[in-house]
Amino acid sequence: MLRDFHTAHNPKRPQANIPLSNRFYLSDAVFTAYLGGPSALVEGLASAIVDPAFPLALGRRSCVPVPPLLLTISEKEPREMLLDTPLQAGRSQRRSRARTVRCSVQADVQVLPEEASRRRIRDVPLSFNPEDRRYAYREVVETVVDVANPDGRASGGHDPFAALEGLL
């Protein structure tokens, strides 16, 4: 967890007390996203990730993503890709875990329509006007899936030295 002190300056009230807040960012986290849509859209998004017009950052300019940002482009549906993609983590993390890892998934309801655990998130932009920002709801499902981890260890007894493997 990265802790960042954030200040906000109000140009209309330059003499006012500047509020200070703490912001927290995940560090050393791995997220895998699956996008679907018309080929031209997906290929355009892939091109923008590979050759971005602006530097990429995850919340803060100092929080730059670590490659690879694009694993593959596929004709498969996002659900198939979710089930076919092996665990994306650092080598030591993959080796310290079992050959199958349960991962949390949040997806649009169209990707996993059979899942019962649904909720609504208000994050679909209707207006980008800074003085009239509005958002619509979308329905998402939350579930867990078993993800293959080919580098994982066979499940078995407790091994406190598994995390040190390769370091000694």
Q: Please, what is the Cα angle at 37 between 34 and 39, to 5 degrees? A: 105
- Domain boundaries in the chain? 22-152
The per-residue pLDDT for 12 is 76
pLDDT band at 117 (very low <50, low <70, confident <90, very high): confident
15/160 Cα distance (integer angstroms): 56
Q: What three-state secondary structure class fits 129? A: coil
Which residues make Cβ contacts (< 8 Å) with residue 3, sequence separation at least 6?
22, 23, 24
Q: What is the pTM of this model?
A: 0.68
The per-residue pLDDT for 157 is 60
C-alpha to C-alpha distances, 43 to 49, 54, 55, 150, nearest whole angstrom? 10, 18, 19, 29
With beta carbons less than 8 A apart as the criterion, state whether 58 and 64 touch: yes
Which residues make Cβ contacts (< 8 Å) with residue 164, sequence separation at least 6?
none
Residue, of 137 and 110, whose pLDDT is higher: 137
Q: What three-state secondary structure class fits 153? A: strand
The per-residue pLDDT for 167 is 63
First vs last C-alpha separation in the chain:
27
The 10s digit of each residue's pLDDT in 69-103 is 899 999 898 888 988 999 998 898 899 899 999 99
